[in-house]
Amino acid sequence: MAIHKLELGEFDEIDYNLIAIHTSVEDYRLAYFINQNFPVLLSKSKNEIHINVKEGETHFSRFAYYDEEKELYWDLIQNKNEVIQNTPNDSQDLFSDTSMEVATKVYLLPEFKKVDYFLKIEKSEEAFDILKIQQILNTIDTISTVYIVDTNKIKSKNNLIF
């Protein structure tokens, strides 16, 4: 009987680049500006990213595009969102029948709390210039800061699997 071995290192490879984007514009406007400056057509994906945390469940918006020519997947992902919890009022006063809504900030990648959006570009065999993409993103007026994230330093990599 033959023994088959699987190398786990093959599955652990990171085959994407991640660009952090700091901006104050809404996700659909940012997708529009990226579409204007790149030969892509980011569109709202019905498959939002669902994250369950102790405070509750939240959904992060996602804009996606597949470049068939270069075989690249582009994803613009929201990093910040809120979970709203209804907590009953335990006091015995005039407002005891009311419940309070508490909003808690939740992050897709908690180690990057200041980042508003991530641009995830999944690589193919063909090389592309990530520095050129960063340089073009920096020319967009509504974006304040753009930088490439070292994917080896991300602790919550599982949140980027979708």
Query: What DSSP line would sit under 19-73, residue for residue?
Result: EEEEESS-HHHHHHHHHHHSS---EE-S-PEEEEETTEEEEE-EEEEEETTTTEE
Span 34-76, pLDDT tens digits: 999 998 999 998 888 887 777 778 888 999 999 888 888 999 9
pLDDT given for residue 62 in this prediction: 92
Look at residue 110 and tell me whether its pLDDT is greater than 80: yes
Look at residue 102 and tell me whether its pLDDT is greater than 60: yes
Instruction: Report the chain's mean pLDDT, rounded to a whole number.
Output: 82
Across the range 18-44, mean pLDDT stands at 93
- Indicate yes or no: pTM above 0.85: no
pLDDT given for residue 145 in this prediction: 92
Look at residue 21 and tell me whether its pLDDT is greater than 60: yes
Q: What token pair was written down for 25?
A: 């514009």
Look at residue 10 and tell me whether its pLDDT is greater than 60: no
